[in-house]
Copies of this chain bind each other. A is one copy, B any other.
Amino acid sequence: MEAVKCFSGGASLEADAEKILRAITPSLDPTKYKGQAGKIAVIGGCREYTGAPYFAAISALKLGADLSHVFCTEGAAMVIKSYSPELIVHPIFKESYSISDVDDEGRRHISKKILAEFDKWMERFDCLVIGPGLGRDPFLLECVSQIMKHARQSNVPMVVDADGLFLVTNSVDLVSGYPLAVLTPNVNEYKRLVQKVLGCDINDQDASGEVLSLSKRIGGVTILRKGKSDLISDGEIVQSVRIYGSPRRCGGQGDILSGSVAVFLSWARQHILASDGRPIISSKNPTVLGCIAASALLRKAASLAFEHKKRSTLTTDIIECLGQSLEDICPAS
């Protein structure tokens, strides 16, 4: 099956998304203890949005991570907690409306406290997912910028999606040149990113060349451009994943993807470390491998859910198919 195809400068790299997924997924071993299969944190959830961070965080668990945290606003936390007792939800953020009577000095104090609270946890995480349901409140986004700077200093990988991409598009420096960052834009997010970074409109005639240039221009940050085929580039190569998939475009599928990229990326890093740098298939870059595996898995789960639910397929239905899809591709035993 032609699962992944390389478009890079004519060189004919070809890989198999399912093979990559199988290669990086860790074996299940009774001697392991809690945490070793992945600890993920989602930064998102505000006054409007509570579903997105839940989707991202629960997807990480459903495909095998051991612990999944959400850092969100105080108001969002109660609701996200109530969706599932499996998540650890930290109500640390504030939005401008809730501190409207606080002066600049007071805001700096609050912001410092938020950052300190996050820092206590940060180094425990294998990957951050920044953006699902984050919203666009300026005070909140400023706090998240600081978190991204700290994460980068500590070499914690990050997957940036949704309103995290809004933040990054306006402050490309936050990720520029950081090899452990992944951006997962949809059509519109990608368009804005291209306009901002490459200074032109998108060019569908050379989609792969464009995503390659975009990644290169942001210093090798990995980009997963979502679409009919998913295009993945780290500025060196471009790969596409086109297996499976569903025609249903209900909101929330991007959150499954960002949570899944976080897990597979962590597994790919572990795998590369354990295999002493031996190249897997076509890339040694764990962010690219993570994107390929996550893309394939979501597309399979979406197609499985669509088989059963057709037009009424929702994101929760797709999440329920993650386990079966993973088992089909990479049996647990």
Contacts and interface: CB of A to CB of B under 8 A. Distances in A.
Interface of A: 25, 28-37, 47-52, 54-55, 61-67, 75, 78-79, 81-91, 186-188, 227-228, 245-254, 306, 309-316, 322-323, 326-327, 331-332
Contact of A249 (B33, B51, B251, B313): B33
Q: So how many copies of this chain end up in the complex?
A: 2
Contacts of A227: 33
A50 B85 contact: yes
Nearest to A248: B28
A315 to B, nearest CB: 6
Contact of A49 (B49, B88, B249, B326): B88
A187 B315 contact: no
A51 B87 contact: yes
A84 B250 CA distance: 14
A89 B48 contact: yes
Nearest to A81: B79
25 contacts: A25-B311, A30-B228, A30-B245, A31-B228, A32-B249, A33-B186, A35-B249, A36-B249, A50-B85, A61-B314, A62-B314, A63-B311, A64-B311, A66-B251, A67-B250, A75-B78, A79-B82, A88-B251, A247-B332, A310-B323, A310-B327, A310-B332, A311-B323, A311-B327, A313-B323
Q: Residue among A55, A79, A247, A311 with the most chain B CB within 10 A?
A: A311
